Amino acid sequence: MDLSSIACNDFFAELNITPHVTKQLKFIKYKYNNIELLCGDLFNLTSLDLPTIHAVYDCKALIALPSELRKKYVGHLVACLGTKIKILLLTRETSCQIKPPPFPVSKTEVNLLYGSYFDIQLLKCLFTTDIPERLIKKGYTEMTESVYLISEKA
């Protein structure tokens, strides 16, 4: 799921594949074999719009949202997908004065947002000063990137 058709096209271009694109009522669907992306407003998504989903890769959605929308976002994911899914979540933090998005999301916030629904495992935490140019323009000089595996409660 992505809000941007540019991001959906870029995703498939990076894989060197051309998706079949169809317009649906609320979304544009990009599909190639077993890879399917919907383009549109996530908050318009319902469980009826989705096939069975076992895993979610969130590399940009949570960090694109201001803090006041993050709880709504996670609640909406749970309402649409249930709690038997796995989520691979990427977050960023920085001590720099930045122009979001992306917004910094801390480990504490990840636990507050997802902890009542899922088990949370921090897989990797990496401090870096090797910052992409687009983030340097937003004020980043350093950041900590974290990767979490969020899964069904044991």
User: Crossing angle for the helix pair 67-81 and 107-114, nearest 10 degrees?
Assistant: 40
Distances (CA, A) of 118 to 91, 124, 148: 17, 18, 11
- What percent of the chain is modeled with pLDDT above 70? 100
Residue-wise pLDDT for 124-141, tens only, equals: 999 999 988 888 888 889
Confidence band, pLDDT 50/70/90 cuts, at residue 49: confident
Instruction: Give the per-residue pLDDT at 134.
Output: 84
Query: Which residues lie below 8 Å from residue 52, measured CB to CB, with a gap of 6+?
Result: none
Q: Which domains does the chain have, with CATH numbers?
A: 1-51 (no CATH), 53-154 (3.40.50.150)
Is the pLDDT score of 149 beyond 90? yes
pLDDT tens digits along 57-94: 998 899 999 999 999 999 999 999 999 999 999 999 98
Residue 116 · residue 82 · CB < 8 Å: no
